[in-house]
Amino acid sequence: MIEMTADVVVIGGGPAGLAAAVSARQHGANHVLILDRNHWLGGILPQCIHDGFGVEEIGTSMTGPEYAERYIEMAQMHEINFLTETMVLRFNKTLKIIAVNKKGIHKLKTNAIILATGCREKTRWHAMIPGTRPSGIYTAGVAQALINLYNIMPGKKVAILGSGDVGLIMARRLKFEGAQVMGVIELLPYVNGLPRNIVQCLDDYDIPLYLNHTVTAISGRERLEQVTIQQVDDTMTPIPGTEKQISCDTLLLSLGLIPENELAKDIGIEIDANTSGPLVNQHLETTFPGVYACGNCLQVYDTVDMLSLDAKKAGENAAKYFSNKHQKGPLKDDKKQLNVRSGVGVRYIIPQRISECGKIHFTLRAVKPRFASILRLMAGKQVLLEKKLPGVNPVSMISVDAHISAEILNSYDCIEVTISDN
């Protein structure tokens, strides 16, 4: 068994893990170690060859590989160590990590852990699509990797189920490569991707969009031959008589992402049922002191830029925890905690708990699209924050800052955030 020590260990070498590791090093952690199961750093970014990365963070538009390389170079400049092709099996409450790679079993002792394990795509079975099991059915991310990394075309006539950003980007990418995109089918009455991708990936290429529709049957023997789509009602139930057959040899699934948190669940870290990510406080610290969460394992972000900015906060706080300069011992039974609850119109909010007063940064999503609305943060009948929103959409994350006073922290057990018409 190989024994190692580090001030901070980051589990995951994607954009969140890299940003958190660099930030931890910049804020005083001398020995930072990244563990990643892939043989490369950067996570999903190497296959994202479209531009738009870095605009919000640094004001420069880059491709995914360029954005990843920027952080890899920063990690190397700060002498951050990393082990690739390394699978973390478990860690415990004393922050001892067991991992394995080609060299054998590694036992690591650290003072702080940052979970940056990312997310995975939903599959056909999440959508419960009946029919045969032919070849030609891929998740959008797999199809993206086939084309951009391996120069393999998944098919020539493609239907796309789900209007997430990867699905929209792949609609455009397939058009570039000469495929016939038969349409994007979306269960909801609105597109799940960013507005810019609707315009740049669908409208600009005359790709059909079927809202309030879903795939209800898959047909084909060896290879996919057609899918049946059907309109749905307000309860998401297919409406009889609205069936339409689309001839295609490929179906891409862009059904959404699931945060990867098996390690957190195994050790007993509390998970938010709405985000599928860990419960955290204002420092992005989980219910285990010294264990932080960031990136898409915490919540699925709109853009990599937003993800990296929050990951930097996790790295900074992990370094402070290690150095004992700002150790706060979050979510302990003997420390006053102020719970943050999602109220009317709000699907989820992060952080879910607050352990100290001051300026708190919140991120949240609405339940459904609305026109002009008002966001309120309430402690009992006391209004802590009231902000007018020109319009809200579940696909766009909302960020707000609010000041939580010591009086509020000590006088209340819970605060609630709501989005309403007035």
What are the pLDDT digits (tens) for 24-35? 999 999 999 999
> Could you state, in order of their start, the residue ranges of all structural domains in the chain?
1-121+257-330, 123-255, 336-422
Q: Give the pLDDT of residue 324.
A: 61
Q: Give the pLDDT of residue 326.
A: 40
CA distance 278 to 114: 12
Cis peptide before 369 (omega within 30 of 0): no
The predicted-structure confidence for 366-408, as pLDDT tens digits, reads as follows: 999 999 999 999 999 999 999 999 999 999 999 999 999 999 9
Q: Give the pLDDT of residue 29.
A: 95
What's the residue count for the chain? 422
Region 350-365 average pLDDT:
96
Q: CA torsion 384→358→283→418, rounded to 10°? A: 0
CA distance 362 to 377: 10
Structure-block tokens of residue 186: 């979306």
Region 221-244 average pLDDT:
97
Q: Work out the mean pLDDT of the chain and round it to a whole number.
A: 94
The predicted-structure confidence for 64-116, as pLDDT tens digits, reads as follows: 999 999 999 999 999 999 999 999 999 999 999 999 999 999 999 999 999 99
Q: Do the domains at 1-121+257-330 and 123-255 have one common CATH topology? A: yes
CA distance 291 to 112: 6
> 1-121+257-330: what fold?
FAD/NAD(P)-binding domain (3.50.50)
Whether the per-residue pLDDT at 240 is higher than 70: the answer is yes
> 123-255: what fold?
FAD/NAD(P)-binding domain (3.50.50)
Question: Binning pLDDT at 50, 70 and 90, where does residue 332 land?
Answer: very low
Structure-block tokens of residue 339: 């719970």
The model's pTM = 0.94
Q: Tokens 């420390």 belong to which residue?
A: 335
DSSP readout, 222-237? SBEEEEEEEEB-TTSP
